[in-house]
Structure 1
Amino acid sequence: MLNFYPGPSKLYPEVRTYLSDAYDEGILSTPHRGEQFVQLSRTVVGLLKRKLNIPQDYHIFFASSATECWEILIQSLTKTKSYHIYNGAFGEKWFNYAKKLRPESEGYQFDVNESMPLDQFDISDDTDLICFTQNETSNGTQVSPTTILNLHNRYRDTLIAVDATSSMAGLNLKLIKADIWFASVQKNFGLPAGLAVLVCSPRAIFRAKQLAERDHYNSLVPMYEKMLNYQTMNTPNVLNIYLLRRMLEERPFIKTIESELTDRAQDLYTFFEQFPEMKLLVENEEVRSKTVIALQASERLVDDIKKRALQYNIRLGNGYGTWARNTFRIANFPAILDEEYEELKRFFLHYYV
């Protein structure tokens, strides 16, 4: 089965070997307070910083998912409210969840074909955290590095948090331009679901210490204190952390990965523009995602394409949220091989003959 679903997506094929090695090395039953795990955690933190260009003074934590990161950040870094900028389902979900914890939280919704409108925001001085999704998986849009830089320059006194679930480990993110970045590993990392990487700047940790919120098991300050010794608060997903280590050891640096994904994304966008019955959901090239491609057509055609693709052992991503019925999505993640995309192209060319 060729899997182009945008998460959980295709695993690196080497994961099969890594799983066997983990069993043989005793990783599956190692105590998370023991030296074997501490060394594993220390190694993974170093690899993440080196391979993904994470600033050396930023702090790395492990969580269960990106959605758990939403909760940790709202609990531990907002005293009054957060401000959410979104154009799709996942950014909106983060906003709605924040309002349950901090009812005064505010949001601004913009259009999928629009760049983030920085001059339209009304962000008050008592806003603790500005939140947005760098790559909106639901509709195949992304926020450009230039826009993130401009947001950073405009609101220097406010912490900025970025959900990078569909871009971290695929794109060379300029992490120094925001205070918090996080992602689950079931997309560009090419690993099974059940682990998230949370990256925080020194400023974010300073703010967490000021608020000193310790009411929850995974509050950020105790998480920080444990990770000083490369340990976690709860028993972590040790197996996935081990898989993360093995994957990072064998993958190229992020600049190389981004270059390959960028070229392939452009090739795919050009390819799909030739079919008049379909159109790219995101018409504005400046805000198109490099890692999730969304295609729009009639509900009947979308349903037929997905069914026919399954007959050819090809799994396409369903539409999501507002676009659930009239779109399908294609992941452009590092674990998926070029020859698999060539097979995908052959399917569509055959479909339209």
Structure 2
Amino acid sequence: MLTFSAGPSKVYDMMPQYLQDAYQEGILSANHRSAAFMNMYQEVQRLFHEKLHMPEDYQLLFTSSATENWEIISQSIVEKASFHIYSGSFGKKWINFAQYIIPNTSGIKIEANEVINVPHLEIGEEFDLIAITQNETSNATQVPMEVLEQIREKYPEKLIAVDTTSSMAGIELKFELADIWYASVQKCFGLPAGLGILILSPRAIEQTERKGEKGRYNSLNFMLENARSFQTHYTPNVLGIYLLKRALHDIPEIQHIDENLRDRIQKLEQCIIQSKSLRLLVENSETRSTTVLGVTGTESLISEVKKAAEAEGMQLGSGYGPLKPTSFRIANFPAITDSEIDRLIGFLIKY
């Protein structure tokens, strides 16, 4: 079954070979304090610089999931409180997590078709971190890099944390526009679930060290202390890190992936725009995601389309939360090939 689910999604076609190589190379039994692991960690960080254009002075860390990063950020980095800008379910979950740890956490919810009005943003001194869900998987929206740049220019003194769970490794991110970036590997990285990515700027590391929080299993200061020697504070998903290394080694540089995904999403959008019965979930092209396309229609039609797709060997991603009955989502992730996207378009054009 070819899946277009928004995550976990299709893995790269070379995955069977990577897994076989991992077994033959002894990766499945590798000690995370060994030279082999430290060299692998160092190589993955180098590939983040080379392939994803992460700045040289930013630090790569491994966590269990993107969700864990919500807790780490409030627990170990935020000194006063965080201010969240969000439009969908995952952004709402992030602010809820943060409020459990720091009750003074606040934020604003914007509509799916609404561009963040940066000139009218009012974020007071009681907040030292701005939290933004760059790509909201639940409702297929995104915040463009241009808007992040405006926020950075308006609030240069505040740290900015960005959720790129379903866009990192799919679009070219301007890492210098924020201090904290995170993701999971089961989406645009084209890997099995079970590994989270956390990227920190020197400013974020400095604030973490100043706060000095060390009282928990996943305290960021413990993680950073180990990362300096390319180790982890816990026994990590060594296989996941190996698979990440192999995938990063084989993919093109991010600007080429970005260009291809933007071309493909336009084809998918045009297919839905020309449809007699299906509509785009997000009407505003400025807020519509590049990596996840939301499609809406009547409840009966959505059910019919999903069943017909499965009959042809394709799985469409369900809508999320309140959008589930009347929408489906299409992953436009790099591991999905151009020919597979064309096959999906050939199916959808019938509607």
**How far apart in 1 are the matches of 2:145 and 2:38?**
34
Which residue pairs with 2:145 in the alignment? 145
TM-score for both structures, normalised by structure 2: 0.98
Which residue pairs with 1:64 in the alignment? 64
Report if the CA contact (8 A) 2:191-2:244 is conserved. yes
Which residue pairs with 1:169 in the alignment? 169
**How far apart in 2 are the matches of 1:296 and 1:140?**
11
Which residue pairs with 1:41 in the alignment? 41
**How far apart in 1 are the matches of 2:268 and 2:289?**
12
* TM-aligned CA deviation for residue 278 of structure 1: 1.3
Which residue pairs with 2:100 in the alignment? 100
**How far apart in 1 are the matches of 2:153 and 2:122?**
16
Determine helix, strand or coil for the equivalent of 2:225.
helix
* Matched ranges for 1:5-20 at <5 A: 5-20=5-20
Report if the CA contact (8 A) 1:77-1:128 is conserved. no
**How far apart in 1 are the matches of 2:228 and 2:9?**
32
Determine helix, strand or coil for the equivalent of 1:276.
coil
Which residue pairs with 2:287 in the alignment? 287
**After TM superposition, what 4+ stretches of structure 1 lie above 4 angstroms from structure 2?**
none
* TM-aligned CA deviation for residue 324 of structure 1: 1.6
Aligned pairs, number: 351
- 1:263-289 deviations in whole A, cap 9, x for unaligned? 111111111111131110111111111
Which residue pairs with 1:186 in the alignment? 186
**How far apart in 2 are the matches of 1:236 and 1:96?**
27
**How far apart in 2 are the matches of 1:112 and 1:2?**
28
Which residue pairs with 2:197 in the alignment? 197
- 1:102-132 deviations in whole A, cap 9, x for unaligned? 1110020011001112234332212121101
**How far apart in 1 are the matches of 2:280 and 2:46?**
39
**How far apart in 2 are the matches of 1:83 and 1:349?**
42
Instruction: In structure 2, give the amino acid aligned to 1:309.
Output: A
Report if the CA contact (8 A) 1:180-1:204 is conserved. yes
* TM-aligned CA deviation for residue 323 of structure 1: 1.2
Determine helix, strand or coil for the equivalent of 1:213.
coil
**How far apart in 2 are the matches of 1:56 and 1:302?**
46
Report if the CA contact (8 A) 2:275-2:349 is conserved. no
Which residue pairs with 2:154 in the alignment? 154
Give the unaligned 5+ runs of structure 1: none
Which residue pairs with 2:233 in the alignment? 233
* Matched ranges for 1:238-249 at <5 A: 238-249=238-249
- 1:218-277 deviations in whole A, cap 9, x for unaligned? 111111110000000110000010001111111110000001001111111111111131
- Confirm or deny that 1:336 pairs with 2:343: no
**How far apart in 2 are the matches of 1:136 and 1:315?**
21
Determine helix, strand or coil for the equivalent of 2:94.
helix
* Matched ranges for 1:111-150 at <5 A: 111-150=111-150
**How far apart in 2 are the matches of 1:78 and 1:287?**
28
**How far apart in 1 are the matches of 2:324 and 2:59?**
37
Report if the CA contact (8 A) 2:113-2:282 is conserved. yes
TM-score for both structures, normalised by structure 1: 0.98
Report if the CA contact (8 A) 2:271-2:348 is conserved. no
Give the unaligned 5+ runs of structure 2: none
- Confirm or deny that 1:84 pairs with 2:92: no
- Confirm or deny that 1:224 pairs with 2:224: yes
* TM-aligned CA deviation for residue 79 of structure 1: 2.7
**How far apart in 1 are the matches of 2:339 and 2:102?**
48
* TM-aligned CA deviation for residue 158 of structure 1: 0.7
Report if the CA contact (8 A) 1:110-1:117 is conserved. no
Report if the CA contact (8 A) 2:292-2:329 is conserved. yes
* TM-aligned CA deviation for residue 168 of structure 1: 0.5
Please say which of residues 120-129 and 288-297 is displaced more in the overlay.
Answer: 120-129
Report if the CA contact (8 A) 2:293-2:332 is conserved. yes
Instruction: In structure 2, give the amino acid aligned to 1:286.
Output: E
**How far apart in 2 are the matches of 1:171 and 1:149?**
16
**Percent identical:** 48
**How far apart in 2 are the matches of 1:273 and 1:259?**
21
* TM-aligned CA deviation for residue 48 of structure 1: 1.0
Which residue pairs with 2:313 in the alignment? 313
**How far apart in 1 are the matches of 2:91 and 2:132?**
6
- 1:56-112 deviations in whole A, cap 9, x for unaligned? 000110001000011111100123311110001111110111111111100200110
Which residue pairs with 2:207 in the alignment? 207
**How far apart in 2 are the matches of 1:155 and 1:273?**
38
Q: Taking structure 1 as reference, are residues 321 and 121 closer, same or farther at Cα in structure 2, changes over 3 Å only? A: farther
Please say which of residues 123-132 and 142-151 is displaced more in the overlay.
Answer: 123-132
Which residue pairs with 2:296 in the alignment? 296
Instruction: In structure 1, give the amino acid aligned to 2:76.
Output: S
**How far apart in 2 are the matches of 1:262 and 1:135?**
14
